[in-house]
Amino acid sequence: MAEKLTLTRPQKAAAILVAMGKPAAGRLLKFFKQDELKALIEAARALRTIPQAELERIVGEFESEFAEGAGLLDSADTMNTLLNEALPPEEVNLLMGRGDATLGQDNAKPVWPELEKLDPARLAELLAREHPQTIALILTKLSSQPAANVLVAMGKPLRGEVLKRMMTVGPVATAARQLIESRMREILRAEAGGKDVSAGQTRVANLLNELEKQQVDEVIRDLEEAGSDDVAAIRARLFSFEEVPLLSQKARVALFDGQATDQVTLALRNAPPELAEAVLSALGARSRRMIEAELAGGAEGVTPEDVSRARRSIAAAAVRLAQQGVFELPGAQAAA
């Protein structure tokens, strides 16, 4: 009778991963922590041929089912293959002890304060390409306000996944932290090098959204006459109070929900009937009656600057909601 093998828990886990094959094991490897991956590698190195009967016993311990197959051979080589196909080369090198010695140096300029300088919507767009676990780790390194702004700018499904992981983030291994910091520096270099003009377009749009509509139209005409390729992208990020009627009813309700009645009243001073009705129809009956009564009472002491400031404030709220994915701005709909 064959002698029963005595295997450690990491060796058993390595045996099962190898038996699962590359596609399934590759997907699972992404969810292991850095120290767990190292333990699996060391365990796989110590494994040799595992008879089928022993493999079945191991599988039984994990209470899972396996298809028929032969015993395991060359476990270390197979584990290396799985890692190489599931993880980036630099991460595999670090796990295998082949990392670049320069990665261990902490004398580089801190990357997190530089990330916080990026536009939150742009940073959210860049991070959306990363795994939710990586995003969670990154946001825990940012200050509270910048991290919150980035979360708000993310799509709801991704935001939920990231928040869930942020609640369980523990201490991060030095190698993992250095990998993430290296990736973030690549992003900053790309932004500084102008490889993506989206951030610049957002900055220009934010500036234009502070102007009166007439001024914005004039600047846009100047850009068109200058032959700028960014006009359509900038238009998609612009919004003025006068464009409220172009929003859907659902979008208008979302925009004016929570807006102070005195702010809305101020913004509606001397507004055209169509614009006033578009706003009032998005309000509750009580708020509408209050605002209509205020408007009918005259505008003593109200200056044009007060009206403009109230309208810009509401327009800025619309831009923020659009960045959060609550609705699309009319310019974005036209560009689609």
Asked whether residue 243 falls in the same domain as residue 331, the answer is: yes
Are residues 243 and 324 both part of a single domain? yes
Domain assignment of residue 93, given as a range: 9-99
Report the pLDDT value the prediction gives residue 288, as an integer from 0 to 100: 95
* Per-residue tokens: 25: 């094991």
CA distances to 84, 239, 255 from 77, in Å: 11, 58, 58
Q: What are phi and psi of 72, to 5 degrees?
A: -95, 140
CA distance 42 to 97: 11
Query: Does 296 reside within a domain?
Result: yes
At residue 271, the pLDDT reads 94
Residues 26 and 88 in one domain: yes
- What angle is formed at CA 298 by the lines to CA 294 and CA 303, rounded to 5 degrees? 100
Span 127-166, pLDDT tens digits: 887 888 888 889 988 988 888 888 888 887 888 888 988 8
DSSP assignment of 65-76: -----PPB--HH
Residue 121, in any domain of the structure: yes
- What are the C-alpha distances in Å from 275 to residues 61, 126, 330? 69, 37, 15
Residue 2 lies in a domain: no
What is the rounded CA–CA span in Å between residue 179 and residue 91?
A: 7
Please give the pLDDT value at position 254: 93
Q: Are residues 304 and 262 in the same domain?
A: yes
Boundary of a domain, candidates 34, 65, 99: 99
How does pLDDT run across 190-248, given as a tens digit for each residue?
Answer: 776 654 556 567 777 777 887 777 888 888 888 888 877 778 878 888 899 999 999 99
Distances (CA, A) of 26 to 30, 81, 92, 224: 7, 10, 13, 50
Q: Provide the pLDDT for residue 307.
A: 93
Q: Are residues 174 and 142 in the same domain?
A: yes
**Cα gap 92→196, rounded to integer Å:** 29
- Shared domain for 170 and 258, answered yes or no, is no
Query: How far, CA to CA in Å, does 48 sit from each of 20, 28, 52, 218, 225?
Result: 17, 22, 13, 75, 72
The pLDDT confidence band at residue 114, using thresholds 50, 70 and 90, is confident
The segment with the largest mean pLDDT, out of 62-66, 108-112, 198-202, 249-253, is 249-253
Q: Give the three-state DSSP class for 50.
A: strand
Q: How many domains does the chain have?
A: 3
Q: Decide if 217 contacts 224 (C-beta within 8 A).
A: no
Distance in Å from the first CA to the final CA of the chain: 71
Residues 120 and 91 in one domain: no
User: Are 93 and 126 in a shared domain?
Assistant: no
| Domain contains 202 | no
Contacts of 316 (CB under 8 A, 6+ apart): 209
Is residue 164 domain-resident?
yes
Position with higher pLDDT, 335 vs 315 = 315
Nearest to 155 by CA among 133, 126, 125: 125
Question: What 8-state DSSP symbol labels residue 282?
Answer: T
Within 13 Å of residue 42, how many CA atoms lie on the same side as its CB? 11
Question: Is the residue at 228 inside a domain?
Answer: no
Last residue of a domain, one of 66, 99, 132: 99
Give the CATH number of the domain where residue 327 resides.
1.10.220.30
Is residue 230 domain-resident? Answer: no
- Domain boundary among the residues 171, 196, 221 is at 196
Contact in structure between 120 and 153 (CB atoms under 8 Å): yes
Q: What pLDDT is stored for residue 250 in this prediction?
A: 94
User: Do residue 120 and residue 45 come from a single domain?
Assistant: no
List Cβ neighbours of 311 (8 Å cut-off, separation of 6 or more). Answer: 240, 241, 242, 267
Query: Considering the entire predicted model, what is its pTM?
Result: 0.43
Tell me if 211 is assigned to some domain.
no
Q: CB-based contacts of 318: which residues, under 8 Å, 6+ apart? A: 239, 244, 247, 255, 329
Q: Over 80: is that where the pLDDT of 276 sits? A: yes
Q: Are residues 82 and 134 in the same domain?
A: no
Pair 95, 122 in one domain = no
The pLDDT mean for the chain works out to 76
CB 138: neighbour CB atoms within 10 A? Answer: 23
Between 39 and 324, name the one with better pLDDT: 324
Residues 330 and 307 in one domain: yes
Triad 87, 90, 96: Cα angle to 5°: 80
Question: In this structure, are residues 108 and 184 in contact, taking their beta carbons and an 8 Å threshold?
Answer: no
Measured distance CA(210)–CA(262) in Å, rounded? 21
Lookup result for tokens 């009206």: 307
